[in-house]
Structures are given as C-alpha cells and as structure tokens.
Chains A and B, each alone.
Chain A
Amino acid sequence: MIMKLLFELSSKDRRLDLIPPCDSEVYNFEEKLLRKEKLRLPEVSEVDLSRHYSKLAKETHGVNDGFYPLGSCTMKYNPAINETIAADKNFTNIHPLQPVETVQGCLEVLYQAKKLLCEITGMDDMSFQPAAGAHGEYAGLILIKKYHQDRNDNKRVNIIVPDSAHGTNPASATMVGFKVVNIPSNENGGVDIEKLKEAVGEDTAGLMLTNPNTLGLFDPNILEITKIVHDAGGLCYYDGANLNAIMGKVRPGDMGFDCVHLNLHKTFSTPHGGGGPGSGPVGCKDILKDFLPTLEVEKNKDGYSFYKPAKTMGQVRSFYGNFLVVVKALTYIKTLGKEGIAEASGNAVLNANYLMNKLKDYYDVAYDLICMHEFVLSLEKLKREHAVSAMDIAKGCLDYGIHPPTMYFPTNCF
C-alpha cells in the first residue's frame, strides 16, 4: 500500500473550523515583526486526517497487536484503567504553577508514588523530575558527583561500567563529566570480581550496574560487588531497566545500591507511545537526598507542600516531570499491591525460563543457567552451519506477527 504523506493530502484553503475569529480587538503587530515566509502546513479535512492516522495505525505494531518478547526493554500490557485515570480532567486541566493549596491531589499522587516506589526499591527518597530512563541515569550520576564534591573528594572521576551495560550508561556518565572505565564480564556473564578489584580505587566515583544484567542473569556475587565499591569509597548506581524481574523478591537498596532510576514505562505498565513519553524517577538513600532535584514533595500537618532539597542539584527538567505517567504507574501499583507486584515479577521470570526451555533444543542458549525475565540465545552455530543470521530470524518473526527480540551485540545473538 502506498502511504501518502499528510502534505500530499493537502489542498489549498481547505480548513477545519476549530477556532472562532477574535472577538476582542484584533491587534496588529508592526510589519517588521511579522513572519514573511509562507507557513506550509497541511490543509486537510478532518476525515482525511482521521483516515490518514487509521492507516498509519495499521502499519504500527503495539503491545496490543501481539507478542512482544523484547529483551532489555520490558514491554508489558498497559492496563486500560491507567488511561482512564490519567485522562481525569482534575489532573489534565491543572496548571503547573497553580497555588499549592489548589494542587493537593497532584502532590498526593507524587508523594504516594514516591513512598510506594521507595519501598519497592529499598530507597529513602525519590524525584520524579527525570522524564525517561536515560534522564534518570543522568540525575542519579549527578547525585553521585555532588556527594563526592560535597565531601571535597574531587579526585573521584571514574564511573565503572560493565561491557554488557546499555549504551545510555556510558553516555550518561560522559554527560555528567565522568570518565568511563569499562570492565569485562566473567565466563558466567556476571561482573568479573578480580577485574572489579583492579578497577576500583581512590579515583572511583561509582559503579553502574543492572542486576539482573542485560544477559538476563542475576549476579549471585552482588553483595560482594557493592561492598568492593563501597570499601573503595565509591557509590553504587542501580539501572532499573530490569527491575521487572525482581519486584517483591529483592530490593536494590538491600543489595547495596545507593541510588536507582526506574523506567515507569517498562516495569510499571505505562505505555511506550512509540518511544515516549516515559518517566525515569531517580531514587536514593538518605546520604544523597539533599542533592535531589528541585522541587520535592513533602507531607506535613496541613497537607502536602514543595520544598527545595538542602544542596539540590537544581533542575533537570521543567516543573515536576512527566506527571501523568506517574499517575498511571500509581494506578498500577495500587491495583497490584504487595502480592500482585511480586506475582508480576515471578511470572515474568517463569515465562522466560519456560520459553528458554522450549527453545533450547533448537537454538544454543548463551548461558545455560536459570535466567531472570530475559535470556540470550546464540545463533553462532546456525550462522556457521546454515548461513542463517540472527537478523534473518528476527525478520522471520515479523512474518508471524511477533515483535523480534532485541538483537544483542555481537549481532549473532538475541
């Protein structure tokens, strides 16, 4: 099917009657201020527009269109109730700079979501200002930088990142002005303890880690890993991309992590929207909370109010983040509750192991161990013996209405 562009549907002077003429007094700006260049926007009828996007929707594969077995980015069902609640006029029609006594409902959402997510992650405080995972990493790494600067420990410039980490980890570290030290994985896909011991020192600002890692493996040495970093004076950063595997089972805070970001659009069921908006709240232990972004929400006897953390990093975004996304995540957590949260993770891990077991006879499993909510298949042998690549299998999945798994580097795995 040939898909026309909006511009190709356009006919001169076709318009919708959406806005009435000005009924006060039309103000005429001086000629020199006015735009001279013709504004070329589509001129379409509403039915053209509606049909155009219906066609585009048919060329789009959402979670609701079929299986989405994507590693490293949890794609889960986006409950309908989340959208209903987030569309409430009492949320959508609130100006971000209204007097605080008129936004008590919004502040309660942020406060409740903070308390629940702190309990789930084992953190003490949290900010919702970061708008996505990478943005949360950015804010989390600034927390670490500010912590060391505040202690006049200015030689700590290195962030240790395992080679299996998501690309945003090293990119975020660079944006915060850290130097990235990559360390290789051991034969089981975990952190190489000896290499970590060699890498840490007086210049270590911190370690960034996902656990389970990008290979889908829970690192059994996690307590030793975080201890090594702490003993060297560094802090531990938990990338929450894979939290969906462990909710209600184990908490980053208990594993020794000092700060964490979450992807509410992965673990907490808010939709991806074709790439966003997400929400990447950054949580931290007490030692870092004074550095959190401006503003934070607190509860006092008269209700909820804003405050500026004592040594705040400032702002990483305007206002309070992607607020409506937080509303959706809160709806999800309240629905699932303590038992449902753990059940979701337990079943994610069960499903992954079941699928891995089913595929074992046909593909080589990269690490033949119990996996968490994702696993890696190696297609090395298939490529060698039959010249069929991971890319071929991925594109083959498409023909069956399945969103392909994430292609892993080197590209003959997924």
Chain B
Amino acid sequence: MGSYVVNTKKQQQEMLEELKMETIDDLFIDVPKSVLLKELNIPKGKSELEVYNELSEIAAKNTVFKHIFRGAGAYNHYIPSIVNAVVSKEEFLTAYTPYQPEISQGILQSIFEYQTQMCQLTGLDVANASVYDGAVAAAEAALMVLERRKSDIIVAKTVNPQVLAVIKTYCESRDVNVIVLKNDDYAVDLKDLKEKLNENIAGVIVQSPNYYGIIEDVKTISDLTHNCGGKVIMHTNPIALALLKNGKELDVDICTAEGQPLGMPLSFGGPYLGIMTCKKELMRKLPGRIVGQTVDTNNKRCFVLTLQAREQHIRREKASSNICSNQALCAMRASVYCAALGPNGLRQVAINSASNAHYLAKQLATIDGFNLKTDKEFFNEFLMTCPIDSKQLVNRLADKGILAGLPLENDILWCTTETNSKKEIDKLVETIKEVL
C-alpha cells in the first residue's frame, strides 16, 4: 500500500497514549454505530511502480493525433518550454489561495501581472484573477449586467454551443430569460437583433470570432445595444485579440474568453481558463478574486486581494457570485505565455493561425464538393461542405493519423493554428484526395 502518512505506527501509539486512548477508532466515538464503516469496498493500495504502470496503460488507450485540424473551443497551439518550467515550480503548484499576503507576494504579483496583460489584450480596464473556463466567464458576465428592470439576456446563436449551454444553465437557475438570436449566413442577424432589443434587455452576448470562425460586426452590435441601454459582452479568442480589433475598439462593456490557447494543453477539456475583463464602471460587479497594488507599512509596493466586499466569504447569500477557488495556476500559464511571446510573438501566432486557415480553405476548395458555407471573413476556423458523409471522411482521415475538422451535420468545421505547417496542410489535402 502506498502511503504518505508521516507518523510511524509506534509514533501513532505514543500520540494516542498522550490522548489517553487506545486506538484511532476511539477518536470516532461521535459517529453513530449503525453507520460506522468496517471497510471500503475498493481495491487495496498499490506501490508507485504498479500505479505508474496501470495509469500509463490506461493513458495509452487514447489516440494522440500528430496532425490536428480541429478547434471548436479547444486549440492546439505550441506551448513554449518556459511555460511548463515556471508552473512546475512547487512553490506555485502547492500554494494555497493567497489570503495571507505576507507569504503570498509571489502568487499575488503573478496574478496582478496576469490581470494587467489581460487588460492590455482586451483593451478594457479591469480583469479578475480568472474563473473556471471561457463558458463560465460568459455566463458570469451575463449575471453581471442584470439590473432591477433589465432582466433579459440576448445571446447570439453563433456562440460556441458549449458556451450557450452554460449561459442557459446559469441564467435559468436565476430565472433570467435568455433570448437566442437568429443567424444570418453564419453570423448574427442584425435585423433580428434590432427587433429583439428593448428596455428589458440587460445585455447582448456575442462571440467573435464566432463558433464558425466568422468575425462578427461587433461594433454595430455594440452601437445598437447601447442605444437601447443594454451592455455588450464579447466572448472571444485571446489569440485573435493580438491581431484583430479589441474590446475597447469595438466598444464592448465586458470581454470574456476561453484562455486555453494561451499556454494550456488540450488535456481532454481541462483545466482551462476563464478570462474576464470589464470597463471600470462594472468593476464592483466583477465576480471572483481581484488582486490590487498597494503599499506596506514601510511604504513599499505590495499586492493584496482587493474589493473583497463583493465576495462570498464576506457577503454570503448577497455575494455577486459563489466562486471561491479559481484557475490561478492556469492564469499563471497565460501570463508566462504572453510574456514569453511578447507583442510580436503573439501577433505572429495570430497571423500564422489565420494565414494557415485561409491557405487550407483555398487548397480544399480545389477539390470538388468542398465549398465555403459563407464568404464572410473568418479568423482561423471555417465551415465547408463535404462531398461525402462528413463523419466518414473524418474516420478515414483518423486512420491516417489526422484529426480532421469537427463534423457539423454534413459540413466540417476546420481549424488551423501556427503548429500546422504548409507541408502538413498540403499533405492533408493530398490525403483527402486519396481517401475520397
């Protein structure tokens, strides 16, 4: 049996003697006899080597694709070595929530630097220390904009279905009405938005680049919404922000994003990172922890958790959100990732991801039956028709070690990042021709 208990049996006995007890069971005297357990019905413990072998075998049952052309909410970007090196430091890995600032300056400063970088990326004023993932960030943002007489939320149908599902759960549990917009050619139907906007609308959630990769006309959506007194929440891909207009330029009130592209491995969906930033006037409604800068008694710069009066440990049932633990170490990943790449490197990632996608779209279009579903501008994902059953094509490519785009009915949602080289894209196109 593996064990991490420090005390030897002899030491345990000595401790019990000091407590005038005979066995550890004597400590559980308050547990009613009828429910006291004799033994758990699970396997016996194992040595580290046995556990290592067993779990490695389970892991080996997965297929790791060497060539990935699938995104739809999780993106295969290169992770610089320095990212893993930093977050593996045991001090960061094993530290508790930084409630004691004197011995948590390292964590607090790292979160402060993360927040600053997220504000720079999105162009908005305030960031929190992270929430669970992008979908939860969007859902929490919906709850942020509610007002007494504004209790409906409009959501674009072009947001990632996972994000829409979480928004619906969060809103339904608070009896908030969610109105889903119609699509117009794989983007928000602006006419439908105009019709649905009224004084009850607290906010509009739009994703850009959207689920189909299309860059939405967020500025027009912002103008229309603000004219009706509502707030605008833009859900986005943080990589795109290095190249395309940011939240400030599009005049949105809150930016949310799935932070996974910033240095987190795919990891079958988690841990990921929920990024949230907002304009200053919404600061007190922002959920979760926020780190602020202050000075200590020697007038030296230091960092602390701030604006805690919003949070559950102070406000209890009146808190703006129930969030406590967040994704701190993932936020550190994002921070190291952005600092390692810098403004030029991050722009390069964005340019390569988008350029590869446009190159792939062009090459695929040379094959009969592969046509873009819309000619609207896209970032690094696009939807195309497929001349045969899309699932069948995906399976045939899987046999060749390629994870193709995501089948959506009979179309395929393709994605590229900077990790897909021209050679790899050409090979994909050749392989498709072979297996058709």
Contacts and interface: CB of A to CB of B under 8 A. Distances in A.
A132 B109 contact: no
Contact of A97 (B63, B169, B406): B406
Interface residues of A, number: 174
Contacts of B78: 18-19
B61 A222 contact: no
B352 to A, nearest CB: 5
Contact of B321 (A75, A133, A171, A394): A171
A310 interface: no
10 contacts: A2-B300, A24-B359, A35-B249, A65-B91, A70-B96, A77-B4, A94-B64, A254-B35, A275-B289, A347-B7
A313 interface: yes
Given A249-B28, A403-B103, A46 B82 contact: yes
Contacts of B356: 22, 24
A332 B85 CA distance: 23
Contacts of B80: 16, 18
A35 B242 contact: yes
A324 B270 CA distance: 6
**For A21, A94, A99, A327, which residue has the most chain B Cβ atoms within 10 angstroms?**
A94
A338 B44 contact: yes
A271 interface: yes
A253 B82 CA distance: 45
Contacts of B316: 167, 170-171, 180
A2 B299 CA distance: 12
A137 B321 CA distance: 12
B325 A19 contact: no
Contact of A22 (B34, B88, B170, B352): B352
Interface stretch (A78-86, A198-206, A377-385): A78-86
**For B123, B162, B398, which residue has the most chain A Cβ atoms within 10 angstroms?**
B162
B192 interface: no
A189 to B, nearest CB: 11
Interface string A317-353: 1111111110100110111111111111011011101
A94 B267 contact: yes
A360 to B, nearest CB: 11
Contacts of B266: 92-96
Contact of A340 (B3, B248, B323): B3
Nearest to B359: A24
A231 interface: no
Given A23-B421, A79-B4, A142 B342 contact: no
A319 B270 contact: yes
B166 interface: yes
B223 to A, nearest CB: 15
Contacts of A150: none
Q: Is the interface of B mostly helix, strand, loop or mixed?
A: helix
Contacts of A317: 132-133, 135-136, 166, 270
Contacts of B300: 2
Nearest to B347: A39
Interface string A219-257: 110110000000000000000000000111111001100
Given A19-B341, A276-B326, A84 B52 contact: yes
A272 B111 CA distance: 15
Interface in B88-127: 88-98, 100, 102-107, 109-113, 116-117, 120-121, 123
Interface stretch (B150-158, B195-203, B332-340): B332-340
A290 interface: no
Task: Sort chain B's interface into a size bin.
Answer: 35 or more
A25 B360 CA distance: 10
A273 B92 contact: yes
A89 B64 contact: yes
A186 B116 CA distance: 47
Interface string A1-30: 011011100000111101101111111011
Contacts of B228: none
A318 to B, nearest CB: 4
A314 B178 CA distance: 14
Contacts of A35: 241-246, 249
B121 to A, nearest CB: 7
A50 interface: yes
Interface stretch (B10-18, B179-187, B366-374): B10-18
Contact of A99 (B68, B82, B134, B395): B395
Nearest to A116: B42
Contact of B109 (A59, A116, A247, A394): A59
Contacts of A145: 173
B268 A319 contact: yes
A194 B400 CA distance: 68
A22 B343 CA distance: 16
Nearest to B102: A398
